[in-house]
C-alpha cells in the first residue's frame, strides 16, 4: 500500500507474468508509453481498454495577475493532458470503498451541521424527559423566585463572565464553590458545542440559581421560612411575569433553562451521553459511513456463509485474492486464508494467472471475522510472514 513503484517494477512484473525476457518486456513497455505520447502529440485521443483515455486539451490564453507585484500578464494558450480512467479500472481501484453507497439525507430542510443536530438531539431528549423535568421546572421557578435578590445581581452580571465568577466566589463558601465548579465543568462541553456566550451566561446563571437553591434548602428553619417566602415569590413571579420585561425574558428562555437545569441535575450521566452524542454528531460524516458499513458486511456474510461455501471462483481480470477476501469475508486481510487453501494452484499470490480456479473455504468465525480487530491483526501478521517468505 502507498508504495511508489517504478518502471523497473512494471517490467519485472510484465516479464514474469508474460514469460518474457526482461529486455523484451522493457522494450515493449517503452514502445507502449512512447506510442501513447506520440499519438497524443499527433492530436489523437488514445483509448486503451482497461486503462483509460488520454487526450490533449487546449487551454485558452488568459490574463492573470502576478500576486507579488500586481502586474498583469498573459498566460499563453497551451495544452494539457487529460486522463479519464476506464470504468473497469475505476471499479478495481475503488474496491476497498465499494461497499459505500450514497445515502439520502432527510429532506431538503435537514442540515448537516453538527450544531443543529446537537440541539435537535437535546430537544428530543427534553421531550422524552419532560415529565421528569416538570418537577424540576417547579424547583426552577422556586429558584427564580427566591434568588431574586441575588438574581438581580446576576442580571447585571451577564455582560461579563468573569464578573460572574468572581461575584460567585464572593457569595458562596468553599464547598459550594466546588459544587459549582464541578457543575460548570461538566456542563461546559455541552454548552460550548451548541451555543454562543449568551447561552453560556444563562447556563451559569442557572447553575448559580441551583446552587443557591440547594444552599437555601439545606439550611435550617430560617430557610424554611424562606421557602414560604419562595412560594409567595413564585406567585409573585407568575403574576409579575408579564409586567417586568426581565421576567418576560426569563419566560422566553424558559425552554432552554429547563434544558440546562436538567443537564445540571443529571450531570454525570448526561455529560457522558452528551459527550458521546456530541462526538458522534460532530463526526456526522463518519457515522453515516459507519452505519452503512456493518449493514452491508453482515448482509454479505450471512448470505455467503449460509449458502455458498466452499465457493469456487474463476479468477477474472482485475481480481486478486484481496478482492475475493473482501467480497467473501468482508475484509481484505483474510486473503491469506484463501491463499492457504489454494497453495497447490497458486505459486505466487501476487501473480495468479487469469482463469485460475480458486476455492474459497468456509470461514471459521473465530479466525475470520471482519469485525474483530484481533482476527484482522492475525491475518495481517500471516500476510507479512507469507510475503517475507516469498522474498
Query: What residues numbered 105-134 form the site for other proteins, per CB under 8 A?
Result: 105, 107-108, 110, 112
Binding map of other proteins across residues 15-34, x = CB under 8 A, - = no contact = --xx-x---x--xxx-xxxx
Q: What CA–CA distance (Å, rounded) separates 253 from 265?
A: 18
Where is 181: in which H helix or E strand? helix 174-194
Distance set, CA 267 to CA 58, 138, 176, 235 (Å): 64, 19, 16, 29
Rank residues 261 and 323 by Cβ distance to other proteins and give the closer one: 323
Whether residue 256 contacts residue 199, with contact meaning beta carbons closer than 8 Å, is answered with: yes
Rank residues 194 and 322 by Cβ distance to other proteins and give the closer one: 322
Close Cβ partners of 27 (under 8 Å, ≥ 6 residues apart) = none
Rank residues 33 and 219 by Cβ distance to other proteins and give the closer one: 33
Q: Which stretch binds other proteins (CB under 8 A): 35-43, 167-175, 242-250, 265-273?
A: 35-43
Q: What CA–CA distance (Å, rounded) separates 34 from 45?
A: 14
Residues β-bridged to residue 53: 47, 84
Report the candidate in 145, 161, 93, 80 with the shortest Cα–Cα distance to residue 323.
Answer: 93
Q: What CA–CA distance (Å, rounded) separates 156 from 232?
A: 24
Smallest gap, in angstroms, from Cβ of residue 153 to other proteins?
Answer: 47
Binding map of other proteins across residues 65-84, x = CB under 8 A, - = no contact = -------------xxxx-x-
Close Cβ partners of 51 (under 8 Å, ≥ 6 residues apart) = 85, 86, 89
Whether residue 28 contacts residue 10, with contact meaning beta carbons closer than 8 Å, is answered with: no
Does position 45 bind other proteins by CB under 8 A? yes
Angle, CA of 354, 356 and 362, to the nearest 5°: 130
Rank residues 88 and 254 by Cβ distance to other proteins and give the closer one: 88
Number of residues that bind other proteins (CB under 8 A): 77
* Residues in 266-295 at the binding interface with other proteins, rule: CB under 8 A: 285, 288-289, 292
Report the candidate in 31, 75, 54, 226 with the shortest Cα–Cα distance to residue 143.
Answer: 226
Binding map of other proteins across residues 221-240, x = CB under 8 A, - = no contact = --------------------
Does position 52 bind other proteins by CB under 8 A? yes
Q: Which stretch binds other proteins (CB under 8 A): 86-94, 171-179, 202-210, 367-375?
A: 86-94
Does position 345 bind other proteins by CB under 8 A? no
Rank residues 158 and 318 by Cβ distance to other proteins and give the closer one: 318
Does position 388 bind other proteins by CB under 8 A? no
Residues β-bridged to residue 312: 359
Does position 302 bind other proteins by CB under 8 A? no
Rank residues 58 and 63 by Cβ distance to other proteins and give the closer one: 58
Rank residues 83 and 249 by Cβ distance to other proteins and give the closer one: 83
Does position 35 bind other proteins by CB under 8 A? yes
Close Cβ partners of 233 (under 8 Å, ≥ 6 residues apart) = 145, 146, 148
One of 65, 75, 100, 135 touching other proteins (CB under 8 A): 100
Does position 347 bind other proteins by CB under 8 A? no
Does position 10 bind other proteins by CB under 8 A? yes
One of 162, 173, 307, 317 touching other proteins (CB under 8 A): 317
Whether residue 336 contacts residue 379, with contact meaning beta carbons closer than 8 Å, is answered with: yes
Smallest gap, in angstroms, from Cβ of residue 371 to other proteins?
Answer: 19
Q: Which stretch binds other proteins (CB under 8 A): 48-56, 185-193, 339-347, 356-364?
A: 48-56
Rank residues 90 and 390 by Cβ distance to other proteins and give the closer one: 90
Does position 253 bind other proteins by CB under 8 A? no
Pairing of strands 72-75, 52-59: unpaired
C-alpha cell at 326: 473482501
> In the block, which residue shows the cell 449460509?
306
Close Cβ partners of 96 (under 8 Å, ≥ 6 residues apart) = 326, 332
Smallest gap, in angstroms, from Cβ of residue 372 to other proteins?
Answer: 23
Amino acid at each position: 500500500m502507498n508504495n511508489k513503484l517504478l518502471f523497473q517494477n512494471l517490467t519485472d512484473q510484465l516479464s514474469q507474468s508474460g514469460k518474457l525476457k526482461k529486455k523484451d518486456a522493457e522494450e515493449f513497455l517503452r514502445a507502449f508509453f512512447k506510442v501513447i505520447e506520440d499519438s497524443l502529440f499527433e492530436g489523437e485521443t488514445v483509448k486503451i481498454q482497461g486503462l483509460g483515455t488520454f487526450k490533449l486539451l487546449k487551454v485558452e490564453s488568459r490574463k492573470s495577475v502576478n500576486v507579488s507585484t500586481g502586474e498583469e500578464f498573459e498566460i499563453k494558450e497551451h495544452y494539457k493532458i487529460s486522463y479519464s480512467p476506464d470504468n473497469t479500472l475505476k471499479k478495481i481501484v475503488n474496491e476497498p470503498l465499494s461497499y459505500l453507497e450514497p445515502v439520502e439525507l432527510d429532506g431538503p430542510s435537514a442540515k448537516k451541521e453538527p450544531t443543529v443536530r446537537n440541539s435537535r438531539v437535546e430537544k428530543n431528549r427534553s421531550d422524552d424527559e419532560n415529565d421528569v423535568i416538570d418537577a424540576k421546572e417547579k424547583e426552577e421557578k422556586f429558584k427564580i423566585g427566591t434568588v431574586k435578590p441575588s438574581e438581580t445581581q446576576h442580571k447585571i452580571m451577564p455582560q461579563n463572565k468573569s464578573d460572574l465568577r468572581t461575584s460567585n466566589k464572593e457569595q458562596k463558601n468553599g464547598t459550594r464553590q466546588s459544587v459549582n465548579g464541578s457543575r460548570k465543568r461538566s456542563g461546559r462541553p455541552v454548552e460550548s458545542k451548541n451555543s454562543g456566550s449568551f447561552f453560556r451566561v444563562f447556563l451559569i446563571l442557572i447553575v448559580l440559581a441551583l446552587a443557591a437553591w440547594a444552599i437555601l434548602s439545606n439550611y435550617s428553619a430560617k430557610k424554611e421560612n424562606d421557602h414560604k417566602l419562595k412560594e409567595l415569590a413564585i406567585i409573585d413571579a407568575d403574576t409579575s411575569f408579564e409586567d417586568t420585561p426581565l421576567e418576560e425574558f426569563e419566560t422566553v428562555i424558559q425552554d432552554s433553562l429547563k434544558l440546562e437545569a436538567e443537564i445540571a441535575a443529571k450531570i454525570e450521566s448526561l455529560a457522558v451521553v452528551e459527550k458521546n452524542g456530541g462526538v458522534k454528531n460532530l463526526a456526522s460524516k463518519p457515522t453515516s459511513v459507519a452505519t452503512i458499513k456493518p449493514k452491508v458486511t453482515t448482509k454479505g456474510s450471512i448470505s455467503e456463509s449460509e449458502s455458498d461455501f466452499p465457493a469456487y471462483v474463476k479468477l477474472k481480470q482485475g481480481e486478486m485474492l484481496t478482492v475475493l477476501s473482501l467480497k467473501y469475508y468482508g475484509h481484505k486481510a483474510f486473503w491469506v486464508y484463501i491463499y492457504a487453501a489454494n497453495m497447490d494452484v497458486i505459486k505466487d499470490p501476487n501473480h495468479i494467472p487469469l482463469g485460475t480456479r480458486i476455492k474459497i473455504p468456509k470461514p471459521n468465525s473465530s479466525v475470520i471475522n471482519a469485525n474483530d480487530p484481533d482476527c484482522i491483526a492475525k491475518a495481517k501478521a500471516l500476510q507479512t510472514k507469507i510475503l517475507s517468505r516469498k522474498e
